[in-house]
A and B are shown apart, each in its own frame.
Chain A
Amino acid sequence: MSTQSHSSSPTDIPAPLLPLLQLLSSVFLTLQSTFKRIPGSPIIVRYIKSSYQDDPWRSLLEVLLIAFAVRTLLMGRTRGEGAGKNFIKLTEKEIDELVDEWKPQPLVEEPNDLDHLTLSTVPTIYGPNGARVKLSPAGKTVLNMTIPNWQGFVENEKMKQVAIETLRNYGVGTCGPSGFYGTIDVHMKLEEDIASFLGTEAAIIYAQAFAAVSSVIPAFAKRGDIIVADRGVNFAIHKGLQISRSTIRWYAHGDMKDLERVLQNVEREQKRKGGKLTKKFIVAEGVFENDGMMLELPKVLELKYKYKYRLILDESQSFGMVGAHGRGITEHYGVPASEVDMILGSMATGLATGGGFCAGSYHVCNHQRINSSASVFSASLPAMLATTASTAISILNSQPALQSTLQANILLFRQILSKLEPLPMTESGVPTIGSSSTAGSMPPPPVPNKDAIIHIPSHINSALIHIFLLNPPPTTEAEERLLQEVVDEVVSKSDVLITRARRLRGQEIFEPEPSLKVCISSSFSRKEIEKAAKGLREALVKVCGKKR
């Protein structure tokens, strides 16, 4: 082909190219005619012509812009580092060498001493869990004050019966997410039960409380939104905040003045910056998982209305624990639950079955059915955990006496322990004001009680009690070891099982101080409570007293 074209004279068009040129011209003509046929094409042509005539520079600019747009489109959406300036071009051989040289760190690090302590001190329960458990197959029975069993639902016989009936109708697993035939009638019933129990428009259930909390927050709060959160919120909320990518402002734990200060700051900032109105949320817990303190809900609601915030309230601990029927802190303060925009709760702690829920308005709940990842991408709750939760709610509704037993037990326990607190309780059980409104991390109030060695910030109605040491050893590790000594002493001397509050050291945003965690249940007798509290008091004096 090439030889032929060389042989002909340069001015002539080489013969073999003729059909090609013909083709080209015909293509050109077709294109032209099609282009003319497009409605509006003369306008474009006229525009280009006149623009070139008036201002050739502008045409050039336009051409460049189009070229840039095409280039941007062709580059694709996800650009890796490969395209960046920082990219170093390497030969295949160099890459091979680098691959050979690269030594990754081990997947898991060696556990340290504290890790060993943590792992070795996890107790195993032989047989059923509940208020009285066995720590070895043939061992003696100890009182279990570590599990959230506020109303004794863990051992409830009625719920077992319901569970067996459910098993015989529904099996165990649901084998699908709620969107794909995993919405069972018992789920819908439980959602209705929760909503009517709390007095909200609707509710949505999740397969796990932890996942519910960490998934509801990012379902609403997005990048650019503002979240004002209590510094003492639990780990699940931290994870939710992290996923949401919102702007987060912290206020001092339990400090309403500081909350108002932060809200004012945000308002000022927004006024200065202007721009679009963003969603604003306050995130807090009813009873805080990390220290048992209770939120001052009326004050928070007042501030929320004043500064136009929405309130996300995690009642994972308080649901089923406080209030005349166990409806949580809304009932405790006599506030309608519908005033809180999203109430998160746990069926696993409050009702001793499994899963979590979010209650709120119809729109709030419906939004989550499609936008909350733990709801969309997870199998739904096993049917028997839903029916038993419904049963537990009906028990709560019909037996308010359970709550008074629980509160009496808590009070008794606190009274006995308060002898070691800086401000001992009066006979009526009300501690001096101030001791429960300051944070665990704050310096405790002045010490009138010479024997004081502990500090309990937990609310007087909270069945979840955290005990902090007044004069802790210098390092966290030493403190953990000391607390573990107390735990061991209590279980060996008084047959009462309590636990150190387990933390994920190194993964928490604010490291909580080490503490002992005690859970009170209404299924303990007064005698048991007395024995446990005294045993714990003695152990604390023995272990912590000798250090001083």
Chain B
Amino acid sequence: MGRSARRSGVTSDRSPSSRPLFPSISLKGSPTTSSSVSEPPSARTSLINVLSRPRHHAHAHAATSSASGSSSADAGIFTTEDEFSDMSSTISSYASSILSSSREASSEDIAKVYRDYLETPFVKIKTSVKHSEFGHCNNPNWRWTSQWNPDEPIHALEEERPPYHVLIATYLSYLLLIVLGHVRDFFGKRFRQSHYSHLMEHDGYAALNSDFDSFYVRRLKKRLDDCFARPVTGVAGRTIQLLDRTGPDDNSSFELTGGYTRALNVSSYNYLGFASSTGGCADAVDAAIRRYGISGAGPRHDASTLDLHHQTEKLVARFLGVEAAMVVSMGFATNSTNIPALVSKGCLVISDEFNHASIRFGVRLSGASLRTFKHNDMHALEALLREVISQGQPRTHRPWKKILVIVEGLYSMEGSLLNLPMFMELKRRYKFYAYVDEAHSIGAIGPNGRGVCDYFGIDPREIDVLMGTFTKSFGAAGGYIAGSKELIDRLRLRSHAMAYAESMSPPVLTQILASMASIMGVAPPLAAPAGEELDTMSVASRPTAYGPASSSTLPSWFSLPTPLLNGTEGREKLRRLAFNSRYLSSGLRKLGFIVYGHRDSPIIPLLLYQPAKMHYFSQMMLKRFGADKTPIVVVIVAYPATPLITSRVRFCLSASHTKNDIDMLLRACDEVGDALDLKHGKQTMKVEEVIAAAEELVASNF
């Protein structure tokens, strides 16, 4: 089982026909820029202006084209991405393009350069998919297969800890914020009563919001509010377009300036890059809207079950390798309306401490007892299981009717992967029912994109309840529950969503059908592309063969382009995502950042600790201060989503990111990391070394 076996097609000369989406390059030119580059001095000064241009301005500028000598716009010269990364880099290309222009670089020039980078591919391509939504990256070496390697630990029990001074500084920061907040509240309530009216009693009405409950939101989160809920427009693909806004009154309200900023998007849950306004899936959805309209109308049981619902449910079941499945129109509601249908009083739910809010919501509704165990700690789970089974129900000591253990496949704040092999061992021994929430892992993990079962090579039918969402990997909305036929029938009867909630709308169903079918490929399969070496390891190690979708399950009016039909594009996406995830996760670790989670996880949390750094990190990524000015949008997460001290920035990678994007992200993190003193771990490599050694880093165990 050599590591090279997993590196699909590294050495093989693959025929271009196997990857129709990424055709070979028409002209191999020399790299356009020299590699010796210094930072442009003028760039730094006009940092702020860069990001607030109105859109029409931007367009006009783009139309006047390449006068400023931007590298990628030079007609006739196209480089492959391989060469591009070898000889020059994004950073140098920007800098040089700015330097090479005869006049002094203005903020507009810089903005144009990054816009070109984000919107125009470096290669000539034939596909209609926009580079800004799905980046073109055709180097076969930059692929990886997401699969369990028994030599790598699944979950580190003790996360890396920062030095004590960081912890103390963090606590002191919060202390300061809390004290300041209370001082402001104290004086505010006395001197600016109109601002506090909703927090105080008036006319015999109690305050609508308790000032104690809302203290965190008003006094701590509000300071960061310009980093949260930034309004956007367009597709949340590889890049995203922000609506520029200003907050004149300390983030109390925001005003849109009317400008737009296109930024690299490492925040959306677009793991496989199916969020797209063009391409095969969007065309299928287009056809569906014309045919079905947009409304799912009423609840499923009241004549709002379309044939499309049945087809989607069948395909989802086939995709997961289980008997039956059921779709619900909202991901949150999938948990909150189905868990109460499974357990009730006298049952016990054991839940991971970091489980999603929707699970807690559902458990609370069910009336079952709840115990939690330390995050992803299978020994703690075993100890708890032994205790609860032997003790029985509290007070009466009656045995529990049933025990449902609810875990997630991939944790959205931690990036940690469920230790499924050990979990299954415990399941066999302690006879509990397993409920695995694969909201984030489905599509994103596993050699076939089938989630944690696929990743660990475990038969999905051994897990009683499989839950997941379509919001993330499939670019749609809603969620599913899958399992045995008895289970799904029972849930159809008892699920709140089936009887009372709206059914899923046809365009969303179609997006699910199209994206899922393109990951699976549609049978009858086309002949395997010539020159394709067999992926021996993944075939041998998996007990369930995840086959293609049968064309009879799909609607008859459905037509997908060939790369989607034969599954090549889907596979390409899975492998690009796996490479990107592993590359960034490993790279950040080598740079000395404290990074949580599994290296195969597309969710990569980087620890920031001090609350002020969250704001700075988010702003410095958006308004970059180095030579490269390409804005990057990131998600910062703090209490209550994480423990108080471990506030973090969370990157969500996508198959739509190119390696250049990840390179740029690494450079940006390096820049900001030095400025903000974030490298609390041991830095073993410089950023350029990391970028040069990307493939080795991804392939190595550490």
Q: Mark B332-373, 1 if CB is under 8 A from A, else 0.
A: 110011001110000000000000111001001100000110
Surface stretch bound by B, among A11-19, A369-377, A406-414: A369-377
Contact of B232 among A86, A181, A235 (CB under 8 A): A181
User: Which residues 357-381 in A have Cβ within 8 Å of B in the complex?
Assistant: 363-364, 367, 369-371, 373-374, 376-379, 381
Chain B residues with Cβ under 8 A from A459's Cβ? Answer: none
A210's contact among B234, B391, B394, B500, by CB below 8 Å, is which? B500
Is A179's CB under 8 angstroms from B228's CB? yes
- The residue from A80, A168, A234 contacting B387, defined by CB atoms under 8 A apart: A80
**Judging by beta carbons under 8 Å apart, are A497 and B303 in contact?**
yes
CB pair A378 B358 closer than 8 Å = yes
Residue among A81, A126, A156, A243 with most chain B CB within 10 A = A81
Q: A147-B303, A175-B471, A354-B505 are in contact. Are A115 and B493 (CB under 8 A)?
A: yes
Tell me the bound Cα distance from A81 to B295 in angstroms: 49
8 Å CB contact of A160 from B133, B269, B290, B336 = B290
Chain B residues in 8 Å Cβ range of A99: 385-386, 389-390, 429-431
Interface string of A121-137 (1 = CB under 8 A from B): 01111111110010001
* B201-232 with Cβ < 8 A to chain A: 201, 203-210, 213-214, 217, 221, 228-232
> A278 with B206: in contact, given A160-B293, A504-B499 (CB under 8 Å)?
yes
> With A188-B231, A211-B336 in contact, is A123–B303 under 8 Å at CB?
yes
Interface: A515 (CB within 8 A)? no
Which residues of the partner chain B approach A147 to less than 8 Å between Cβ atoms? Answer: 297-298, 302-304
Question: Which residues of B in the span 287-326 have a Cβ within 8 Å of any Cβ on A?
Answer: 289-307, 309-310
Interface residue? B31 (CB, 8 A): no
- Residues in B with CB closer than 8 Å to A214 are 336
Residue ID in chain B nearest A519 by CB atoms: B298
Chain A 468-511: CB-based contact to B (< 8 A → 1; otherwise 0): 00000000000000000000000000000101001110110000
Mask, A152-195, CB within 8 Å of B = 1, is 01111001100110011111111110111111111010000000
Contact B500 A236 (CB under 8 A): yes
| A502 with B499: CB separation less than 8 A | yes
A279 at interface by CB-CB < 8 Å: yes
Given contacts A104-B403, A144-B303, A159-B293, contact A209 B501 (CB under 8 A): yes
Instruction: Give the distance to chain B from A197, nearest Cβ to Cβ, in Å.
Output: 19
Contact of B371 among A80, A111, A182 (CB under 8 A): A80
Instruction: Indicate whether A507 sits within 8 Å of B340 (C-beta atoms), given known contacts A147-B302, A377-B358, A499-B303.
Output: yes
Binary contact track A52-95/B, C-beta < 8 Å → 1, others 0? 00000000000000000000000000101110101110100011
B285 at the interface (CB under 8 A from A): yes
Q: Are A81 and B233 in contact (CB under 8 A)?
A: no
- Of all chain A residues, the one with the shortest Cβ separation from B281 is A172
Task: For A180, give its contact among B274, B301, B388, B635 (CB under 8 Å).
Answer: B635
Q: Is the CB of A175 within 8 A of B295?
A: no
Tell whether, in the assembled complex, residue A367 and residue B474 are in contact, meaning their CB atoms are under 8 Å apart: no
Contacts A167-B285, A370-B221, A384-B507 given; does A184 touch B208 at CB 8 Å: no
Interface: A148 (CB within 8 A): yes
If A129-B306, A147-B297 touch, whether A185 touches B231 (CB-CB below 8 Å) is yes
Contact A148 B298 (CB under 8 A): yes
B472 / chain A contacts, CB cutoff of 8 Å: 175
Residue of A nearest to B207 (CB): A279
Q: Which residues of A contact B633 (CB under 8 A)?
A: 181
B276 an interface residue at 8 Å Cβ cutoff? yes
Contacts of B474 in A (CB 8 A): 173
Residue pair A167, B395 in contact (C-beta under 8 Å) = no
Tell whether, in the assembled complex, residue A349 and residue B502 are in contact, meaning their CB atoms are under 8 Å apart: yes
Indicate whether B265 reaches chain A with its CB closer than 8 angstroms.
Answer: yes
CA of A486 to CA of B432, assembled, Å: 44
Task: State the Cβ distance, B244 to closest chain A Cβ, in Å.
Answer: 12
Whether the pair A279, B206 counts as a contact (CB closer than 8 A) is: yes
A146 / chain B contacts, CB cutoff of 8 Å: 298, 302-304
Q: Which residue in chain B gives the minimum CB-CB distance to A504?
A: B499
Bound complex: CA A180 to CA B641 (Å): 13
Q: Are A175 and B236 in contact (CB under 8 A)?
A: yes
Chain A hits for B470, CB < 8 A: 173
A107 in complex: contacting residue of B234, B433, B507, CB < 8 Å:
B433
Q: From residue A283, how far is it (CB to closest CB) to chain B in Å?
A: 15
- Tell me if A173 and B387 are in contact (CB < 8 A): no
Cβ B269 vs Cβ A175 within 8 A: yes
- Known contacts A181-B265, A367-B208, A384-B294; is-contact A173 B494 (Cβ 8 Å): no
Which residue on chain B has the smallest CB distance to residue A87? B391
Decide: A208 and B269 in contact? CB cutoff 8 A: no
Residue in B231, B293, B404 whose CB lies within 8 Å of A184: B231
* Chain A: CB-nearest residue to B430: A99
Are B496 and A104 within 8 A (Cβ)? no
B585 CB–A CB distance under 8 Å: no
Instruction: Give the bracket for the number of chain A residues in contact with chain B.
Output: 35 or more
Cβ A176 vs Cβ B233 within 8 A: no
Task: Give Cα A517 to B301, complex, Å.
Answer: 12
Q: How close is B500's CB to chain A, nearest CB, in angstroms? A: 5
A82 x B298 contact (CB < 8 A): no
Q: How far is the CA of A86 from the CA of B397 in the complex (A)?
A: 9
Contact B208 A183 (CB under 8 A): no
Q: Within 8 Å of chain A (Cβ to Cβ): is B486? A: yes
Partner pick for A111 among B203, B205, B329, B490, CB 8 A cutoff:
B490
CB-defined contacts of B493 to chain A, threshold 8 Å? 111, 115, 118-119
**A residues within 8 A CB of B365?**
239, 242-243
With most chain B CB atoms within 10 A of its CB, the pick from A170, A174, A178, A499 is A174
**Distance from B207 Cβ to chain A, minimum over Cβ atoms (Å):** 8
B427 to A: closest C-beta gap in Å: 11
In whole Å, how far is A305's beta carbon from the nearest beta carbon of chain B? 10
Q: Confirm or deny: B286 has a beta carbon within 8 angstroms of a beta carbon on chain A.
A: yes
Given the complex of chains A and B, what is the CA–CA distance between A82 and B329 in angstroms? 40
Say yes or no: A210-B496 contact (C-beta < 8 A), given A95-B386, A107-B464.
yes
B205 lies within 8 A of A310 (CB): yes
Instruction: Tell me, yes or no, whether B237 is within 8 Å of chain A by CB.
Output: yes
* Contact in complex: B299, A502 (CB < 8 Å): yes
Chain A neighbourhood of B332, CB < 8 A: 207-208, 211, 373-374, 377-378
Question: Does any Cβ of A come within 8 Å of B71's Cβ?
Answer: no
A370 CB, min distance to chain B CBs, angstroms: 5
Closest chain A residue to B367 by CB distance? Answer: A242
**Quick check: B243 and A185 within 8 Å, CB to CB?**
yes
With A94-B390, A211-B330, A497-B303 given, is the CB distance from A160 to B294 under 8 Å? yes
A385 within 8 A of B: yes
A497 to B430, CA, bound (A): 49
A171 CB contact (under 8 Å) in B269, B282, B305, B494: B282
Whether the pair A119, B489 counts as a contact (CB closer than 8 A) is yes
Query: Does B331 belong to the interface (CB within 8 Å)?
Result: yes
B293 touches A164 (CB 8 A): no
Q: Is the CB of B390 within 8 A of A95?
A: yes
Given contact pairs A175-B236, A185-B243, A163 touches B507 in the complex (Cβ within 8 A): yes
Nearest 10 CB-CB pairings of A with B: A210-B501, A348-B502, A208-B330, A378-B332, A147-B297, A108-B490, A379-B471, A175-B268, A146-B303, A502-B301
* 18 pairs of residues in contact across A and B, judged by CB atoms under 8 Å: A87-B391, A111-B489, A129-B293, A148-B298, A163-B507, A175-B236, A175-B472, A209-B501, A243-B361, A308-B204, A308-B205, A354-B296, A367-B214, A377-B356, A377-B357, A379-B469, A379-B471, A499-B302
- B residues sitting closer than 8 Å to A (CB atoms) are 133, 198, 201, 203-210, 213-214, 217, 221, 228-237, 240, 243, 265, 267-270, 274-278, 281-282, 285-286, 289-307, 309-310, 329-333, 336-337, 340-342, 356-358, 361, 364-365, 371-372, 384-391, 394-395, 397, 399-404, 429-433, 464-465, 469-472, 474-477, 486-487, 489-494, 496-497, 499-502, 505-508, 511, 633, 635
Q: 20 new A-B pairs (CB below 8 Å) besides A310-B208, A388-B294?
A: A88-B391, A95-B390, A99-B390, A102-B400, A104-B433, A109-B490, A127-B306, A129-B303, A133-B303, A167-B282, A170-B234, A171-B282, A173-B470, A173-B474, A188-B231, A210-B496, A308-B205, A349-B298, A354-B505, A374-B330
